[in-house]
Structure 1
Amino acid sequence: MSTNSSTPTRPRFPLMRQRWSELLFAHWPIEPELLRPYLPERLELDLFEEQAWLGVVPFTMSGIRPLGLPAVPGLNHLHELNVRTYARLDGVPGVWFLSLDATNPLGVWAARTLFHLPYLHARISLTETDGTFRAVAKRTHRGAAPATFAATWMPGKLLPRAQPGTLSHFLTERYFLYTAGPNLLEDVRGTNLWRGQLFHEPWTLREASLREWDSTLVEAHGLPTPVGEPVLYAAEPLEVWVKELRRV
């Protein structure tokens, strides 16, 4: 069984600060060999009890501001939808993103250029009405495979804090990310690899129930449609500090 590393300490001089809210973790088990072509050779798939996992995560990012600078109105807020799995290098577990669709054009450019992440332009709305959340998205990135998304979910009762060695901890408590470049299928065949690190308090998770799920985000990568009901966790808002991005 894989276990995640301990939570990094809060940085004194972070690269960036942001707030994540309206977040849903939706995960399905997937055969490891299906994901292997989407990772560089150097990265090892991170497995839970010999099983790989594929996740789709909608959320809102707000209060985005670089170190020492105030938030810029119009540039400090976006909605995001990411498709992810989990990987490790030299024993350090992290998130591996297949795609990150987002609404802010400048934010997408910065994430692709400065952080080498496979961000894509999209139109996304994410709203809350009487405790029910709804996200609707359409990818608009030129040259990228088309994808759409629509989901409605309701958070349920509060869950105990996820403990190391449990599936909930494996799927949610991640403080590192890996990326090979902004163009996934081209860059995974190259030699570049970066590890990013961030800090936040442990997630406060809730049960969640779906009222709607209609997505082609996974299929846009050439992967099969996930089968069965997803493992769901709704998350309470939290503050996030981006610590660093280093070539590894």
Structure 2
Amino acid sequence: MIDVRMGGIRIEQRIIQIKSPANYNGWTMTQTWEHLLFLHWAISPASMKTLIPAGLELDTYEGKAWISIIPFLLSGVRLRRMPSVPFTTTFPEINVRTYVKAKGKTGVYFLSLDTSNPLVIKIAKFWYRLPYYRAQMAFHRQADRIDFTSRRLSGLSQSPSFKGSYQPLSDKFFAKEGTLVHWLTERYTLFCRCNRTKQLMFADVVHEPWQLQETAFHIRENAMTENLSISLTDTPHLALYSRGVQSLIWPIRSLADISSDQGG
């Protein structure tokens, strides 16, 4: 646990663990997500429709679609009843995601996931059909300040990249149900599509509610969506920090396996 004092506010920084993991059956992997910076942009739904596979519906909030860029540190990757996966102790990752729904379930659809760990890329592509890419990355932490850089190893002169720094500013809070913050962060299903069969898949995720904080941040470079033909403003419409959570992840299933009235 890290105890940080800022402007007279005492901020206890700790990972939120699953309270009763024995109560959950069927999960196959656990991960811990640390030092997350949630960067959110409101965009036109029309600009997103070609990026969402048929069978998924773009989820909107008050008529706006949202795209999020989330740099963080991934740790504690472990299969159920197995020791930690070798060479996956702790490493940085950055995700680009949007928000979708299908058959009564609401969740996220990843447009890209970049990491420096080649083994995780192979595992995630095989088990979860996720669009992972290898990147040259750096994650440096000094006290409560995070410096994060990433450049995709694509061989292109304009590879997706990100450079920025961030730190928590406020005391912790939980998002209130019905608010935009809750809508963006409390998502417990990921959707994906198998490149080979084109079949839509989903996986459920469990973690304790996010403990969020306001954040001070500085983005020096952000080219994470240029290859998607999406231009983002220099400043996101919403930015938040979280020290992190432990998560449990279920195996992927075909979307055709659930009835249209099953919620998520």
Alignment TM-score > 0.5, same fold: yes
Q: CA RMSD in A?
A: 2.0
Equivalent runs, 1:1-248 vs 2, <5 Å: 11-141=24-154, 146-181=159-194, 191-226=198-233, 228-248=235-255
Identity of aligned residues (%): 30
TM-score, normalised by the number of residues in structure 1? 0.88
**Offset, 1:201:** 0.2
Deviations 1:216-248 (A, max 9, x none): 001121212335443111012211111231111
**Offset, 1:143:** 8.0
- 1:156/1:207 contact within 8 Å kept: yes
Distance 1:197 1:144 in 2: 37
Residues 78 and 141 of structure 1: CA distance in aligned 2, closer, same or farther (over 3 Å): farther
- 1:77/1:104 contact within 8 Å kept: no
Residues 27 and 156 of structure 1: CA distance in aligned 2, closer, same or farther (over 3 Å): same
The count of residues paired between Structure 1 and Structure 2 equals 234
Secondary structure, counterpart of 2:96 in structure 1? strand
Tell me whether 235-244 or 9-18 shows the greater mean CA deviation.
9-18
Give the letter aligned to residue 232 of structure 1: A
Give the letter aligned to residue 246 of structure 1: R
Residues 159 and 167 of structure 1: CA distance in aligned 2, closer, same or farther (over 3 Å): farther
Residues 230 and 213 of structure 1: CA distance in aligned 2, closer, same or farther (over 3 Å): farther
Deviations 1:168-222 (A, max 9, x none): 101111100101136xxxx7xx741001111100000000121233110011212
Q: Which runs of 5+ in 1 are unaligned?
A: 1-8
**Offset, 1:130:** 2.2
Deviations 1:87-136 (A, max 9, x none): 00012100011000011101001111121000001111112112111100
- 2:128/2:251 contact within 8 Å kept: no
Give the letter aligned to residue 221 of structure 2: D
Give the letter aligned to residue 238 of structure 2: V
Residues 93 and 143 of structure 1: CA distance in aligned 2, closer, same or farther (over 3 Å): farther
**Offset, 1:160:** 2.6
